Amino acid sequence: METFEISVPCHFGIEAVLKKEIYDLGYEITRVDDGRVSFVGDAEAVVRANMCLGTGERVLIVVGRFFASTFTELFDGVAALPIENYVRPDGRFWVTKATSVKSKLFAVPTIQSVVKKAMVERMKKAYQKEVFKEEGCDYPFRIFLYKDEVLFTLDTTGVPLHKRGYRTWTSKAPLSETLASALIDLTPWHPDRIMLDPFCGSGTFLIEAARMAAGMAPGMDRHFTCEAWDHLIPKNLWQEIKEELLSQVNADVETHLYGYDIDPGVIDIARKNAKNAGVDHLIHFQVRDVADLSHSKKYGFILTNPPYGERLLETDEVYELYRTLGEAYNRLDSWSMYVITSFEQACEAIGRKPAKNRKIYNGMIKTYFYQFPGPKPPKRRQGDGSFSE
């Protein structure tokens, strides 16, 4: 089978998590850039990456890399690439997104139109045709310029991978599914341990954790742009891999997942989303103020995304909320806590120094992932998520 260079963009700050996911799927990493991991794989790799990666945003086939600091160089660079190997003569092809960072060419609409013209020129020569009706499948291209190096890619995904399909309803400031998945991977949480989100909103952390526990591949319930293509990816692969992934699901797995929020409407949303995701029976949602947070078991994990301030509340209220979270955490014997926030005074208000802290971009917002690991549990495990000593 033909091999491609495949490039997967991700949130800035979680490249190492995505790299491990790709490595665990069995592929060789070729390059890691800020917000992007690249690897080599065939058509099967494109299908597996789309269906199985929890932390990537899209699966892009690299059509070419070259340098361009003028529009003529950009046109010539694209026209020299084998576009016809990717786009069928009746295909609808366009540059769906252009990004330019620290490059001489930065006018995005012009970049898009020059690249489209270069692609048409290439297609005319390759197919010996003057007119392309573009009535067939979609071939959306994405182009990134960084320090004048052009990365020209074909998007196989379409609707981004963070849209797993289960979150029909969202709360006020939801975390993206891909970021939630990456943050879970950054903790030592394991499906047989307790996870509790006291500010659960639409339930993203818990739904992602429940799907992980049940062995559900993140993208196995949705569709991708490249499913319609009839030449690059054999059609039978989709069904074969989906059947393989379905056979690995254990929806009756025992879990210890708790989602609380002060807002009853939000808890309602979380329950609906969990039902959509097929994991409502694996999560216990409840309306509860963080001030009333308690748990009888030891060695659990708090993983949470409290209100940030700039989005939801005034600074004083936010400070008070983090102070209350700190007090609640003090009452939880031997627990670990992981908090993603952009609130600068979070640790001061919680009243603890984090053992680790990681800078992560949640969209355009710079956030920190504060880590307060608790003691490791003893070996003997009770089967209900707790531990005997």
Write out the residues near ligand SAM by the rule CB under 6 A. Answer: 171-175, 198-199, 201-202, 204, 261-263, 266, 289-290, 305-307, 321
Rounded to a whole number of angstroms, the minimum distance from the CB of residue 171 to ligand SAM is 4
- For ligand SAM, the closer of residues 7 and 178 by Cβ is 178
CA distances from 180 to 202, 207, 249, 303, 305 (A): 12, 9, 20, 10, 9
Residue 293's nearest CA partner among 202, 371, 200 is 200
C-beta nearest to ligand SAM: residue: 201
Rounded to a whole number of angstroms, the minimum distance from the CB of residue 266 to ligand SAM is 5
Rounded to a whole number of angstroms, the minimum distance from the CB of residue 40 to ligand SAM is 34
- For ligand SAM, the closer of residues 144 and 199 by Cβ is 199
Residues forming beta bridges with residue 4, ordered by sequence position: 41
Rounded to a whole number of angstroms, the minimum distance from the CB of residue 236 to ligand SAM is 36
- For ligand SAM, the closer of residues 173 and 237 by Cβ is 173
Rounded to a whole number of angstroms, the minimum distance from the CB of residue 324 to ligand SAM is 7
Rounded to a whole number of angstroms, the minimum distance from the CB of residue 366 to ligand SAM is 15
CA distances from 337 to 19, 189, 210, 356 (A): 25, 11, 18, 11
Rounded to a whole number of angstroms, the minimum distance from the CB of residue 318 to ligand SAM is 9
Residue 111's nearest CA partner among 126, 100, 122 is 100
- For ligand SAM, the closer of residues 158 and 259 by Cβ is 259
The answer to whether 38 touches 7, Cβ cutoff 8 Å, is yes
Q: How many helices (H) and strands (E) does the chain have?
A: 10, 14
- Judged by DSSP in three states, 254 sits in coil
- For ligand SAM, the closer of residues 47 and 196 by Cβ is 196
- For ligand SAM, the closer of residues 202 and 225 by Cβ is 202
The C-alpha atoms of residue 89 and residue 24 are separated, in whole angstroms, by: 37
Which pairing describes strands 301-304 and 195-197: parallel, antiparallel, or unpaired?
parallel
Task: Please report the DSSP string for 177-219 in residue order.
Answer: HHHHHHHHHTS---TTS-EEETT-TT-HHHHHHHHHHTT--TT
- Judged by DSSP in three states, 92 sits in strand
> Chain-centre distance of CA 38, in angstroms?
15
- For ligand SAM, the closer of residues 334 and 342 by Cβ is 342
